[in-house]
Structure formats: C-alpha cells, structure tokens
Amino acid sequence: MQQVRSLYGSCMKALIQNTSVSFMLGNVVAYYTKCYWSEKPNELTRKAGASPFDSFQIADVGDVNINLYNLPKACEDIRKHFLKIINTGCIPLALGGDHTMTYPILQAIKEKHGPVGMVHIDAHSDTNDLMLGEKIAHGTPFRRAIEEGCLDGKRVIQIGLRGSGYSTSDYDWAKQQGFRCVQAHECWHKSLTPLMEEVRQMMGDKPVYISFDIDGLDPCYAPGTGTPEVGGLTVIQGLEILRGCRGLNVIGGDLVEVSPPYDTTGTTALVGANMLFEMLCVLPGVIYK
C-alpha cells in the first residue's frame, strides 16, 4: 500500500474562528467532522467509486494552536505547522475557518513544490490588495500568494465568481496574472464536466492545490457561511469540479468558510464534509473499483 497520508478534519482549532469574515461571523464547530466524517466514508466510496482508505494511511493529525488576536502571527504558526506535515510526505487536506488560512498553507507548500496551480471554487476572487486597510484577510490570500510566488498564475482557475464587490474591476488583477475566472452565470444550467476537461489540460502534470470555499455553492445548498451570495453553483456542479480533478497531481487542498451556527439543519456541514471527502478521492494513487 502506498504510504501517503492525507489529513482530514485537521487544523480545526487553528482555523475555528472566522475572525476576518466581513459579513456574518461564526465558528467551524467540532461536529463539522464529528457528526459526518465517521458516517461518510463507506457511502462516499460507493458514490465516487474510489477506495481511499484502501489506498493510503489516513489520519486526523489534530489542530493548530494559534493566537486569534494576532493574524500575522497566526498565519506564521499555520505555515510552520503545515510545513512539518508536508515534509513528512503527507498530502494535507484542511478544514476552516475563513479563507485567510489558505495563504500560509500555500507558503508552506511553496517550500516543497514551488509555485503550484490551483483549482479555486468560490463566490469571491479573494485577490484584493487590502481589506479595511489590512494586507492579510480573507479577501486577500491569493494576492499575497501570487506576490510571494506561491501560485503559478497561468495555472489558476477560479469557478463560481459572483455577487457584490468593491469595484467593476474586481477580477482585472487576477486576469492580469493569468488566472482563468469563470463567473457563476457562465455555469448556470449546464454540466461542468467539459470545463474540467479543459482544466486538466491547463494543469498538466505539475502540482495542483484545490481550495473550496463553501460559498461557491448557492446558499440554498450551503446557507451556513459568512458571506453567502445567491446565484451560485449547485452541489452537483461542485461534485463535477472535484471529480474532474481526478488525474491531476493534487498536492493539497482545503474546504473553508463553513459556519454551522448559521445552518440549524446541519446541511452545510454535511455538504462540506462530502466535498472534502471528494477531494480525498481524487488524490494521486487512489484505487478505483
């Protein structure tokens, strides 16, 4: 059996507080994994045709302790923690928490893999230079990542972009870096399987990171999030995107912006757990039956 480990449900403590969400505040609470991960593997294996638990050693490696009142220091702690994980040969899959967390994870990944491609599902581009005067926030991670050489801009695709913004040029900077920006209305009433065929050609065999912001989905499917935007992707389209990543050289991923207190039905946590498991099913070396 291939000795690659992927962590799921990790970094929960590190990323539990949505401290910089700009619309609604909330927590990623423990049942996000506890209530669903223990029940999902067998069901999801049947759905996806994948057997990750027969393919890898899989572990929850615990939380990252951070100072919630010092975001730059918290990011540095996350970077150091993930660098240790990556250097053991693990493929990290992380839960959040707001999207700020992806920035230090990409910093750690850069130290091993250099600039990587990215499949980014989100209602927002998260490429602002500043948010409320701050360089580090949930709306700036990919601007910082490009500036520091963590991402290969020509191999970044953002899917599901929509909603309110700060200016009519919100996506201009990203496009100037080579990003492919697919707005949500371009996805309405269609399968995204053909798009993912293009993505596989775009990414080639070089390292790819997957970042899934739950608000990329329409709030009718995932209402428990800090910055919901109507007119989003369907759950089926989310599955098409992730299953379309099969064959890519995926070296890490995250599922962010789930806030269960804003969804008393637990649907958002359920969808989030399913989506993260789908990431696990497309890691290189997974056995399909």
Write the pLDDT tens digit of every residue in 225-269: 999 999 999 999 999 999 999 999 999 999 999 888 888 888 998
Question: Which whole number is the average pLDDT over 114-119?
Answer: 99
> Which CATH entry fits the domain spanning 5-288: 3.40.190.10, 3.40.640.10, 3.40.800.10, 1.10.1530.10?
3.40.800.10
* Token pair recorded at residue 72: 């730059």
Write the pLDDT tens digit of every residue in 34-44: 544 555 555 55
Known binding-site residue numbers for Mn(2+): 99, 122, 124, 126, 213, 215
Q: Which residues of 173-201 are buried (b: 16+ CB within 10 A; e: fewer)?
A: bbeebebbbbbbeebeeeebeebbeebee
- For the chain, give every domain's residue range: 5-288
Instruction: Please report which confidence band the pLDDT of residue 147 belongs to, taking 50, 70 and 90 as the band edges.
Output: very high
Burial category of 278 from C-beta neighbours within 10 Å (exposed 0-12, middle 13-18, buried 19 and up): buried
- Rounded Cα distance between 73 and 55, Å, is 36
- CA angle 175-272-56, nearest 5°? 95
Write the pLDDT tens digit of every residue in 25-76: 333 444 455 544 555 555 555 566 888 878 888 887 877 888 888 999 999 9
Write the pLDDT tens digit of every residue in 181-195: 999 999 999 999 999
Known binding-site residue numbers: 99, 122, 124, 126, 213, 215
| CA-based torsion, 273, 2, 53, 87: positive or negative | negative
- Max mean pLDDT among 8-22, 43-57, 118-132, 188-202 falls in 188-202
